[in-house]
Amino acid sequence: MALRHKHMYGQSIPVEVLVQHIADHKQGYTQFGGLRPYGVSFIFAGWDQYLGFQLYQSDPSGNYAGWKATSIGANSQTAHSILKSDYNPNLSLDGAKKLALKVLKKIMDVTTVSYDTVELIEITLQGDGISSRCMSESEITELNAL
């Protein structure tokens, strides 16, 4: 769908349009006997020229919503309460990394997270494109120390 959109309109598909298409596809399967063959929730993160960075969550029924910060899975209620109290739209990149580690520590019931148990990826806007970079073991260790 994204390639078809780019071919037809000469520009990348807006993030929410793509998320809506996937959610509609998931929801279509619930029309027949209550089946939910995908049976999973998704978190979508993306960037487009219209709304910048965006975060969406969809559930198995095909409903989706946009968020500033969210979590799914085991202990997601704990993560939501931490994000609700500690998230600030003006967080710096380092502050966001620290908050992510704080949430992971709480939901994983550990005092420190390690390179072996988590993978952190930093996504930034570089010129007119997106850049992603996996954080190194030393960066994760350094964040744990703070």
Using a pLDDT cut of 90, give the percent of the chain over it: 64
CA 33 vs CA 26, 38, 61, 91: distances in Å: 14, 14, 13, 45
Mean pLDDT of 64-87: 95
CB within 8 Å of 39: residues ≥ 6 apart? 60
9 confidence band (pLDDT: 50, 70, 90): very high
34, pLDDT greater than 70 = no
Residue in the structure block whose two tokens are 């550990």: 110
106-129, pLDDT tens digit by residue? 999 887 888 888 999 999 998 878
Q: Please tell me the distance from the alpha carbon of residue 142 to that of residue 137, in angstroms, as a whole number.
A: 9
Mean pLDDT of 78-107: 93
Mean pLDDT of 18-43: 83
